[in-house]
Amino acid sequence: MATDASPLTAAIATGREILRASRGIVILTGAGLSADSGLTTFRDPKGHWKRHRPEDLATPEAFRRDPCLVWEWYGVRRRAAADTAPNAAHLAIAAFALRRDDVVIVTQNVDGLHTVAARQAADERSRDTSGEPAGEVAGELACRTKALPIELHGCFYRARCSACGRCYEHRDRIDTSSQQALPHCAKCSGLLRPDVVWFGEPLGEPIDRAFGYAAQSDVCVVVGTSAVVQPAASVAVVTRRAGGAIIEVNPEETPLTPMSTVSLRGTAAEVVPRLLAPGRRHG
Ligand code: BJW
Ligand code: ZN
């Protein structure tokens, strides 16, 4: 019988074996995961930072200087995310987190696609187990929660008051024609900003939680991040320093490659479903 003995297939088999023998798995994701849903990354040749300066769009100073420009950029990105869907890698990650009880998803992405995938995977799973569509029942909600990510850099479907800090779910179209037209706080009338983390801002409680899980995990699976932005990239380093393994999924090398146990050179949608698929001997 012919076998597919490509180096990638062999490396995926090694990765699966590591996962099978592991207890505690952190999955750290970045923009490359959503590239397979058609969203733009930051540092690739067609990435945001090749066309815009981060200082003009992703710092608190930029927002103070020109909030209309910053909201405009987030408006464009929100529309792109709303017009797409989780890809096979998002769905495989969510299904994996639902199957096991020791998986934590940590994302730098602000596009909400992990959350959409969590809902889809939970619906799928409860259809499989009960024969009925899940709907908004408590069990399905509890199940879906297992596949919700720790969002290190926030979420662009939330807005936060730049004066009082109150947070709002915010999916409406944004009128960027003037500062007065931008969304304002219902409580104190302060200007709302996207609830995301810009350069120079602290990541707060989510990074502490992510580091805590990373330190106790046997593996960190790193998908689609250039791993140049700190402290997010250090989540994988924490697992490695605690004696765990890193499995990297990325078409390109990154600063994490030299410390990775397995490097899977392919796209997220191509590799992750194969890495995380259920198997006879796989959790
Ligand atoms: C695929 C694929 C496919 C493509 N499949 N893969 C000097 C040295 C070190 C650190 C610093 C420094 N100077 C300043 C710092 C700190 C700074 C930092 O890290 N800067 C470096 C860039 C130099 N960090 C910060 O400022 C952070 N805060 C902080 O440190 O606070 C300290 C503090 C403490 C106490 C008080 C006050 C402060 C905050 C960082 C915030 C990052 N924000 C952004 C934008 C906002 C969110 C948003 O709008 O989206 O977050 S920047 C941008 O980069 C975004 C991303 O989440 C983040 C990471 O990018 P990511 O996901 O890795 O994407 P790319 O494009 O870089 O990589 C894509 C990868 O996918 C590539 O590798 C491709 O090969 C791959 N790929 N197709 C699989 N199909
Ligand atoms: Zn307010």
Helices (H), the chain: 7-20, 31-35, 48-51, 54-57, 60-65, 67-82, 88-99, 113-130, 138-145, 205-216, 234-241, 268-276
47, 18, 9, 50: which is closest to 30 by C-alpha? 47
What does the CA dihedral 196, 151, 204, 250 come to, rounded to 10 degrees?
A: -100
Q: How far is CA 145 from CA 85, 124, 258, in A?
A: 19, 14, 34
Q: Which residues line ligand 1 (CB under 6 A)?
A: 30-32, 35-36, 41-44, 47, 58, 108, 110, 153, 196-202, 224-226, 228-231, 250-252, 254, 267-268
Long-range contacts of 173-182, Cβ-Cβ distance < 8 Å, separation of 24 or more: 173/75, 174/71, 174/72, 174/74, 174/75, 176/68, 176/69, 176/71, 176/72, 176/75, 177/68, 178/68, 179/67, 179/68, 182/67, 182/68, 182/71
Q: Whose CA is nearest to atom 77 of ligand 1?
A: 32
Q: Whose CA is nearest to atom 32 of ligand 1?
A: 202
pLDDT of residue 283: 47
Q: Give the architecture-level CATH label for domain 7-38+86-152+204-275.
A: 3-Layer(aba) Sandwich (3.40)
pLDDT of residue 125: 82
Residue 231 neighbours by CB distance under 10 Å: 15
Element (H, E) at 246: strand 245-249
pLDDT of residue 72: 98
Q: Whose CA is nearest to atom 12 of ligand 1?
A: 230
Provide the CATH number for the domain formed by 47-83+159-196 in this structure: 3.30.1600.10
Active site residue 153: yes
Residue 118 CA to residue 226 CA, distance in Å, equals 24
Instruction: Provide the token pair at 80.
Output: 């792109």
pLDDT of residue 282: 46
| Burial profile 10-45: b = 16 or more Cβ within 10 angstroms, e = fewer | ebbeebbebbeebebbbbbbbbbbbbbbebbbbbbe
pLDDT of residue 2: 47
Intrachain domains 7-38+86-152+204-275 and 47-83+159-196 with the same fold: no
User: Catalytic: which of 48, 90, 153, 170?
Assistant: 153
Residue 55 CA to residue 58 CA, distance in Å, equals 6
pLDDT of residue 136: 53
pLDDT of residue 142: 67
Cα dihedral sign for 217, 221, 224, 228? positive
By DSSP bridging, strand 262-264 and strand 219-223 are: unpaired
Do 263 and 257 contact (CB within 8 A), yes or no?
A: yes
pLDDT tens string, the chain, 283 residues long: the values are 445 679 999 999 999 999 999 999 999 999 999 999 999 999 999 999 999 999 999 999 999 999 999 999 999 999 999 999 999 999 999 999 999 999 999 999 999 999 999 999 998 887 776 655 555 556 667 677 899 999 999 999 999 999 999 999 999 999 999 999 999 999 999 999 999 999 999 999 999 999 999 999 999 999 999 999 999 999 999 999 999 999 999 999 999 999 999 999 999 999 999 999 998 654 4
- Report the amino acid identity of residue 250: N
- Report the amino acid identity of residue 146: K
What is the 268 CA–ligand 1 centroid distance (Å)?
Answer: 18
Q: Is 154 helix (H, G, I), strand (E, B) or coil?
A: strand
pLDDT of residue 68: 98
pLDDT of residue 4: 60
Burial class from Cβ neighbours inside 10 Å (0-12, 13-18, 19+) for residue 239 reads: buried
Q: Is 145 helix (H, G, I), strand (E, B) or coil?
A: helix
Residue 230 CA to residue 199 CA, distance in Å, equals 10
Residue ranges per structural domain of the chain: 7-38+86-152+204-275, 47-83+159-196
